[in-house]
A and B are shown apart, each in its own frame.
Chain A
Amino acid sequence: MIGALDSHVPEGPIEDRWTRHKFDMKLVAPNNRRRFDVIIVGTGLAGASAAATLGEQGYDVKVFTYHDSPRRAHSIAAQGGINAAKNYKGDGDSVFRLFYDTVKGGDFRSRESNVYRLAEESVNIIDQCVAQGVPFAREYGGLLDNRSFGGAQVSRTFYARGQTGQQLLLGAYQQMMHQVALGTVKLHTRTEMLDLVVKDGVACGVVVRDMVTGAVTSHSAHAVLLCTGGYGNVFFLSTNAKFSNATAAWRAHRRGALFANPCFTQIHPTCIPASDDFQSKLTLMSESLRNDGRIWVPLDRDDTRSPDQMPESARDYFLERKYPSFGNLVPRDVASRNAKAVVDEGRGVGPLRNGVYLDFAEAIGRVGEATIRERYGNLFDMYERITDENPYRVPMRIYPAVHYTMGGLWVDYHLMSNVPGLFVLGEANFSDHGANRLGASALMQGLADGYFVISYTLANYLAPLLGTRPVPTDDPAFIQAETSVGDTVARLLSIKGTRSVDHFHRELGKIMWEYCGMARNRTGLEKALSEIPALREEFWKDVRVLGGAALNQSLEKATRVADFFELGELMVRDALHREESCGGHFRDESQTEDGEALRDDDRFAYVGAWEWTGKGVEPALHREPLDFEYVKLTQRSYK
């Protein structure tokens, strides 16, 4: 059993905590660092930046990625930008303001001290990225350019065209590859982590599978860092890359790491609706489109005229109607929920009636087509390529899609899970975004964790271990984990059922989206709690994975989907227990008279961290209470 959760947050004024704590923590001297082995799983922003930094400092680093190259990690797909409290525009930004906006944006479900540190380190990230050659947008004088993003009232977002994530990832990847060349970082590509090894309650290594040969091997270290991203693909359709999965995090959970706030999912309002049942993923378009596009549906569900034939009087601009002051710029969760509501009423548009219009006709009339092309040309092109419709002529169709998961493995202030020696960075942890994430903040968190936090907190953990050797890989703990991985693989290959892995994944996704998506209620969640285990049982009886262990993409998918079943069930359980609406999490039972989200701070101002207690056994909930000393608890209002 696990005792009370200690977040190890330092004391004192919030603006001094991290600085003082950096002095208080123990150090590992440069000549001793090579005596420590560190394993990093994942090479996105968090993993690559951590590997580069720890390699430079002299640790013996091993990195694992399931991609053919570290540069493919899904951080690469982030479009918009990265926030930093530089205040280069002199428009009133500060570390405190970024901290304040992030706590509020997370709807008071994050840890103040972590968020303050994130805001503090944001400025160093920009410096680091500029030094390594990230081609950020510039003013004519050569200074860095900024823009306002996601409804922020200051211009604090740095960007590299619409490819900020790509450029930041390439920066971290290149810095890491330099270390690979120097031999401080050993890189294992096409290698997937399938278990965490824990001995006497301490993380001591991983079991991985070489995806080309199928060989299962063990690797031991003094510490393991999981930088394995989010779990949005539990919904099957999401904006995540097809390979993104929860297996590393879930395996760690099954070995004792707590999973915090799993139900906190971010649904992004401006995605292209699914076109048919074969759809494999959803494409996100930058929400900057909402600056000029007007969102509407027909007033009458039976009105099937084409949009250009539809007079103003027959249109319902539902966001402008319900939220006169914010209009189409309401936060992501509000926009998403309202779009779902009108589609559920039968007023959806498009061939499958599964979208709402995002109309630029008025903006084109106001500023001209050329200006709109300048602002959104690449997005309009992408939309046309996918849908074969020209958004300069007919309104775009959009619908919400799963985008980011705020929940993740529980970590303390040191980014260490409750399992000593296991650290979790980036989207894989739960820590900084609370119940909702602000735009342009995911890149910031991944890089803050990897470049500027982990090297301090890891040294603090390792220092007392000087002189110890990692647990040898022939230890029974490793043998047991290796056997269990081998058994799972063999079992999946031997079922030889009748349905493909994708079939089961799609079905799971439908349950999750229907009952644990944008709006949730007790009846639906309880239904999901009975449907998921039934489907999981069918999966283990009837899945068809053909071929052998060597380079087998169906087998790779099968191991991931098997874990999604268990995680999906936990998400539902978490959503069921949290009888409040907050951030991206909306419970039908908890709303104001006019249908807005109603948070319940008296009962739920805590982090809900779940402990795995065995297969088929209800998990145990641990609560970490949240105190708000610096940002006063207030309900959001966008009226």
Chain B
Amino acid sequence: MSGNGVTGNGDGAHPTIDIVLHVWRQAPGQEGRMVTYVEEARGISPDMSFLEMLDIVGERLIAKGEEPIAFEHDCREGICGSCGMMINGQAHGPERGTAACQLHMRKFRHGDEITVEPWRARAFPVLRDLIVDRQAFDRIIEAGGYITAPTGAAPDGNLILVPKESADASMDAAACIGCGACVAACPNSAAQLFTSAKLAHLNLLPQGQAERYRRTQAMVDTMEQYFGSCTMHAECQEACPKEISVDFIAYMNRDYVKAQLKNRRLQGQLAP
């Protein structure tokens, strides 16, 4: 391990950095606390990803006989949505449009102090260290985040014409990876960006029209059981690793208002 100053790994070609890491440690069922790592966070290569840095710190902790830092991760390509942590108070860290797994240590400088915490939201209880429980998202999808199309009943794919503009806008929304950064970044822990992204994905497509208003009402109502209310700070958009636009929230709100009327009308309670 290296000492102070920018140090090398022997050949001098790859300078490494020393950082100071403050990490939230919490065992299941216990109170959590911040723990500072200095020795373990020395000699970090700028080419490492943030998660590889945590890997190394974990290996060093194991060598000392301490349990490594628990954190969610899987694909490490920014698409599975498993990883997520507050890095210096920002969801997924300082780089825009980038999940923690794609953040690299070259974004930090020698001597930096880095604070790492789990997502902070009542709907996402901490399970251990940086791992939180995001099942509330699955409950929102369950409530209506689908188009009912049982296997075997589909017509030929080209019978349903989808204007390119609709397909593109739908895809912009569908890019959501369900990581929860939007909730973590929101001062109210609201899940409007996540919910509206799924609603827009489906409601913008011709296939999604039959269930549009039923879906909107069910998903929004379920969202409100778990999450806070949106007060349009738009922090979610800033934090989103897929840069999903808050415009979809406006779209959702409009559909939700319409749903109040349409759903009653569909049930024959209002004259057309």
* A residues adjacent to B (C-beta < 8 A): 49, 52-53, 56, 67-74, 76-77, 86, 88, 124, 126-133, 135-144, 160-161, 163, 166-167, 170, 173-175, 177-178, 180-181, 187, 189, 212, 241-243, 275-276, 278-281, 283-284, 351, 382, 385-388, 451-452, 455, 500, 502-503, 544, 546-547, 550-554
Contacts and interface: CB of A to CB of B under 8 A. Distances in A.
A241 B75 contact: yes
Interface string B169-200: 01100110110000000000000000000000
Interface in B10-38: 13-14, 28
B131 A551 contact: yes
Contacts of A552: 67
Given A385-B104, A452-B151, A546-B66, A72 B74 contact: yes
Interface in B184-227: 201-202, 205, 207-208
A160 B79 CA distance: 14
A351 B148 CA distance: 53
Contact of A132 (B48, B147, B167): B147
A276 B13 CA distance: 12
A276 B45 contact: yes
B55 A139 contact: no
B9 to A, nearest CB: 8
A72 B104 contact: no
B51 A280 contact: yes
B49 interface: yes
B142 A142 contact: no
B271 interface: no
B147 A138 contact: no
B47 A276 contact: yes
B202 to A, nearest CB: 5
Contact of A76 (B80, B131, B160): B80
B154 A554 contact: no
A360 to B, nearest CB: 22
B79 A180 contact: no
Contact of A388 (B28, B104, B148, B155): B104
A178 B150 CA distance: 10
Contact of A69 (B137, B157, B164, B208): B137
Interface stretch (B57-65, B109-117, B231-239, B255-263): B57-65
A529 B175 CA distance: 45
B170 A135 contact: yes
Contacts of A143: 158, 161
Contacts of B134: 68-69
B75 A135 contact: no
A187 B79 CA distance: 22
A170 B178 CA distance: 11
A126 B175 CA distance: 19
B72 interface: yes
B121 to A, nearest CB: 15
Interface in B131-154: 131, 133-135, 137-138, 141-143, 145-154
B174 A551 contact: no
A67 B145 contact: no
A59 to B, nearest CB: 13
B153 A68 contact: no
A275 B46 CA distance: 10
Nearest to B46: A388
A553 B70 contact: yes
Contact of B74 (A67, A126, A127, A178): A67
A135 B201 contact: yes
B163 interface: yes
Given A163-B79, A280-B55, A351-B14, A128 B151 contact: yes
Nearest to B56: A278
A132 B160 CA distance: 11
Given A547-B67, A554-B62, A127 B141 contact: no
Given A132-B146, A278-B55, 10 more contacts: A69-B134, A131-B155, A133-B149, A133-B207, A136-B157, A187-B138, A275-B48, A452-B152, A551-B28, A553-B70
A133 B151 contact: no
Nearest to A381: B97
* Across the A-B interface, the 8 shortest Cβ-Cβ residue pairs: A142-B161, A131-B154, A174-B146, A131-B149, A127-B154, A130-B157, A135-B171, A53-B151
B117 to A, nearest CB: 18
10 contacts: A68-B72, A69-B134, A72-B75, A132-B146, A142-B162, A160-B171, A276-B48, A278-B48, A280-B76, A552-B67
A397 B269 CA distance: 65
B217 to A, nearest CB: 15
Interface centre among A77, A133, A170, A243 (most CB of B within 10 A): A133
B89 interface: no
B154 A130 contact: yes
B161 A166 contact: no
Given A161-B171, A279-B52, A242 B207 contact: no
B153 A131 contact: yes
Given A133-B208, A546-B67, A551-B28, A175 B146 contact: yes
B85 to A, nearest CB: 14
A86 B159 CA distance: 13
Nearest to B206: A142
A67 B167 CA distance: 30
A296 B186 CA distance: 49
Contacts of B149: 128, 131-133, 175
Contacts of B102: 382, 385-386
Contacts of B171: 135, 160-161, 167
A52 B149 CA distance: 10
Contacts of A139: 164
A136 B38 CA distance: 49
B127 to A, nearest CB: 6
Contacts of A127: 154-157
B47 A275 contact: yes
A550 B28 contact: yes
A144 B52 contact: no
B128 interface: yes
B81 interface: yes
Given A142-B161, A551-B127, A553-B70, A177 B76 contact: no
A177 B28 contact: no
A388 B208 contact: no
Given A68-B135, A132-B146, A177-B146, A77 B80 contact: yes
Given A128-B149, A388-B47, A69 B178 contact: yes
